[in-house]
Amino acid sequence: MSVAPEVHPWSALLDLGRADGRLVREAFEGAREPITEPLPDELHPALREALSGAGIASLWSHQAQALKAAWEGPTIVTTGTASGKSLCFNMPTLDVLCRDAKARALYLYPTKALAQDQARAINAFGLTKQVRPAIYDGDTPGEQRRQIRRRANLVLTNPDMLHMGILPHHRQWGDFLSNLAVVVVDEAHVYRGVFGSHVANVLRRLRRIANAYGTEPRFLLASATIANPVELAEELTGLEEIALVDRDGAPGARREIAMWNPPLTDEALGTRASSLGEAAEIVGELVRRGARTICFIKSRKAVELVARMVGLANPTLKDLVVPYRAGYTPQQRRELEGRLMRGELLAVITTDALELGIDIGALDAAVVVTFPGTVASLRQMWGRAGRRGRGLAVYVAGEDALDQFFCRHPDEFLGRPVEAAILDHENEPIHLAHLLCAAHEGPLSAPDAETLGPCWEAHAQALVAMGELIERDGMYLLRHPEDYPAARVSLRSASPDSYAIIDTVNGELLGTVESARAHTTVHDGAIYLHQARAYVVDRLEIATQRALVEPFGGDFYTQPKKETMTEIEALLDRRDTCGVQLSFGRVAVTEQVLAYQRKKISDHSIIDLQGLDLPETTFGTQALWFELHDDLLADDFPLEKLLGSLHAAEHAQIAVLPLLAMCDRWDIGGLSTNYHPQTGRPTIFIYDGHPGGVGITRQGFLRFETLVADAHRLIFECGCQDGCPSCVQSPKCGNLNEPLAKAGALELLARMLER
């Protein structure tokens, strides 16, 4: 007797994708049986009673293991989405607060929404006599802040508030810091690259100030699955011997995975249908059939656009499909989160604002539009689906080179291990900035090496030479005690030197952009996006470091044309491989924006090229570079296409470098030249796009052979004729993708692989 196949809300959608070839791969994740353990007898009776009242009669095995590890020392938990990681740090923290009326705890979250969500979860335990939680962030009214400092024994905040609002004012937090027993760092995998390098310094400053008040708090961290959780925890906190809990004992839902590639519209040019249009169609079909859906998209503007497209195509669903992104007021965010929790909405279109562990109820489907940058993030997003027993996880590819590379290798993509999170807390510009902040919090001295790191004194002496610090009896103090250095340090930027972006219509400060990027992003005439709104730059004032903008409603965007030069400042490592001399070191990158191109949003066609008169900018960073030997460029190599070949090879390597380093293509820059004055040879440079560098190109240097092989495969397998966005064209090319020689790059990389 035959068994009828299961029918789900997405069955018809997948049938359609199979029929027209857009569904390039399907896979299944089987359900996982839970492993449970009893609640430990050692838990405080009030906490045991609260857990029972919340319906928790037993623990998943990893929760029990995490509790025991947390009682013994610093711990990081890295298990899957919806595996109950919050309980892993809530239990030991609440246990401490129940036992010691003076004890204090600090919870750090990367977003305000996560802190709100966790506050609701803690209040639900009903431990009102023992636990007094409070949120302390930028939305907290001024009149409540003093009461929170005095009364709360569990403060939920974010790294930005800790950096700006707590550590510089630590004397107001004296009682809290002198009793600080536990620090929880949730969603630790978010703290990588520039942001992670800043947060690592903030956490070291926290440990330093806590030590000054006589405490050494226990750090408990939770993370999505990454390749190096212990290393990340140690880099973030400066601690050693951190216990790892990574065996997931929670039940796992059965999940169907679908890779979806928009159809080609022009095979020769390699152009494809819009990934946003495909996403709107998929979401519309899912919600029309009753599947509660979450859709993740990178840009805020795209979030609004897809939500609008779904509503236009399905008018009856208009009020049931909503966008969610940064930039909303606190009241708007709370209202949307509440409606999601109560099941009043069928779908939410969001940026990564909801990637993290916010509980928005049971979802059936998760749609991810274009590769989010890392496999770890993709799996975190996919993990939001299937909490009612069976789910659908969809990846909608874009025309970007990496997306198309994955679509040609779906099995390899689905089997890819999660990446390692990299950061560098001693990145010089970042470390110098935080040493000034630390000096404001208290004079620097020899014992600070334990928390601030071994480079602190060399960097402090550099700050003395710069006139920022003074040395007195072995201690380093701010030259200007009235200074407030934390106000100049944005945790999202590698450089404290920045331009203010001002809306001239209402005088509002929209935000800042670091100086190294100002000329390329807010030059005269540039279209600048902020919170899904477009602005045109009326004037860039270099002397006052301001960009004056006004709202823009046109149908074009801009792309800068720039000239880039590199100067090798220090060689740190070198080896011969793939027929080239490969080097890694520090370089100075000098850029001059010469013009900008205006392009139509609808079809990316060029409107015109506008000239600019801007000075050069220079920043120091880390880079790999390789010099091509003469035998690679033998007589049969088309020398007239050498520059285009080098340029295309550079683009391909930048496109696949995120496979080796947990980063985004926009974090990397490059330069190719048929003659570099310092090497005397044809040379390709690939550099970290942030001042000082955070270790991205170091990964490329260490795994260069894989980088070359992946770049060759990317180009070889693309079916276009002369190069397209799916192989050698780059959306961020300063030369506007000229010249590019696809065939020459393919030949060059093939020769390198043969050596």
Burial class (CB in 10 A: 0-12, 13-18, 19+), 511: middle
Is 11-29+253-414's fold the same as 36-245's? Answer: yes
Given pLDDT bands bounded at 50, 70 and 90, which one contains residue 361? Answer: low
Given pLDDT bands bounded at 50, 70 and 90, which one contains residue 359? Answer: low
Residue 599 has pLDDT above 60, yes or no: yes
Residue 519 has pLDDT above 60, yes or no: yes
pLDDT for 356: 56
Residue 358 has pLDDT above 60, yes or no: no
For residues 345 and 484, the model is more confident at 484
Q: Any idea which residue has 């609260």 for tokens?
A: 50
Distance CA 610, CA 450 (A): 53
To the nearest 10°, report the CA torsion of 298, 299, 304, 309: -60
pLDDT for 330: 65
Residue 636 has pLDDT above 80, yes or no: no
User: Tokens for 561?
Assistant: 């044309």
Q: What is the pLDDT of residues 642-675, one digit of tens each?
A: 999 999 999 999 999 988 887 877 789 999 999 9
Given pLDDT bands bounded at 50, 70 and 90, which one contains residue 457? Answer: very high
Given pLDDT bands bounded at 50, 70 and 90, which one contains residue 326? Answer: low
pLDDT for 284: 94
Q: What is the pLDDT of residues 551-589, one digit of tens each?
A: 998 888 888 999 999 999 999 999 999 999 999 999 999
Distance CA 371, CA 629 (A): 36
Distance CA 609, CA 738 (A): 14
Beta bridge partners of 575: 582
Q: Any idea which residue has 């905040």 for tokens?
A: 157
Given pLDDT bands bounded at 50, 70 and 90, which one contains residue 452? Answer: very high
Q: Are 443 and 475 in contact (CB under 8 A)?
A: yes
Distance CA 463, CA 717 (A): 51
Residue 606 has pLDDT above 60, yes or no: yes
pLDDT for 5: 47
Given pLDDT bands bounded at 50, 70 and 90, which one contains residue 360? Answer: low
User: Tokens for 148?
Assistant: 């929170």
Which has the minimum average pLDDT: 61-65, 509-513, 580-584?
A: 509-513
Strands 498-503 and 509-514: antiparallel
pLDDT for 4: 41
Distance CA 636, CA 633 (A): 8
Burial class (CB in 10 A: 0-12, 13-18, 19+), 462: middle
pLDDT for 61: 97
Which has the minimum average pLDDT: 115-119, 607-611, 632-636?
A: 632-636
CATH number of 36-245: 3.40.50.300
Q: What is the pLDDT of residues 75-103, one digit of tens each?
A: 999 998 778 899 999 999 999 999 999 99
Residue 354 has pLDDT above 70, yes or no: no
Q: Where are the domains of the chain?
A: 11-29+253-414, 36-245, 428-488, 498-554, 558-754
For residues 392 and 317, the model is more confident at 392
SS3 breakdown of the chain: % helix, strand, coil, rounded to 5? 40, 25, 35
Which has the minimum average pLDDT: 60-64, 237-241, 319-323?
A: 319-323
For residues 2 and 634, the model is more confident at 634
Averaged pLDDT for residues 136-147: 90
Q: Are 243 and 198 in contact (CB under 8 A)?
A: no
Averaged pLDDT for residues 503-510: 86
Q: What is the pLDDT of residues 417-444, one digit of tens each?
A: 888 888 999 998 899 999 999 999 999 9
Residue 533 has pLDDT above 80, yes or no: no
Q: What is the pLDDT of residues 709-748, one digit of tens each?
A: 999 999 999 988 889 888 999 877 888 899 999 999 999 9
Alpha helices in 346-441 (DSSP H): 375-382, 401-408, 410-414, 428-441
pLDDT for 184: 98
pLDDT for 329: 63
Distance CA 385, CA 291 (A): 10
Residues 6+ apart with CB under 8 A from 458: none
Model pTM greater than 0.75?
yes
Averaged pLDDT for residues 259-285: 89
Residues 6+ apart with CB under 8 A from 743: 641, 645
Q: Any idea which residue has 């795209």 for tokens?
A: 302
For residues 430 and 512, the model is more confident at 430
Q: Which DSSP state fits 16?
A: H
Percentage of residues in the chain having pLDDT higher than 90: 62
Residues 6+ apart with CB under 8 A from 625: 566, 568, 582, 583, 587, 679, 683, 684, 685, 686
Alpha helices in 124-267 (DSSP H): 142-151, 159-161, 174-178, 193-212, 229-237
Averaged pLDDT for residues 159-181: 97
Averaged pLDDT for residues 577-606: 90
For residues 497 and 711, the model is more confident at 711
Question: What is the DSSP code string of 694-753?
Answer: -SHHHHHHHTHHHHHHHHHHHHHT---SS--TTTT--TT-TTTT-S--HHHHHHHHHHHH
pLDDT for 484: 93
Residue 21 has pLDDT above 90, yes or no: yes
Q: 88-120 as b/e, with b when 16 or more CB fall inside 10 Å?
A: bbbbbbbbbbbeeeebbbbbbbbbbbbbbbbbe
To the nearest 10°, report the CA torsion of 207, 211, 216, 217: -50
| CA 313 vs CA 309, 310, 364, 703: distances in Å | 6, 5, 21, 47
Nearest by Cα to 228 from 236, 219, 216: 236
Residue 340 has pLDDT above 80, yes or no: no
pLDDT for 328: 62
Class of domain 11-29+253-414: alpha beta
Residue 380 has pLDDT above 90, yes or no: no
Q: Are 509 and 462 in contact (CB under 8 A)?
A: no
Q: Any idea which residue has 């709107």 for tokens?
A: 280
Mean model confidence pLDDT for the chain: 90
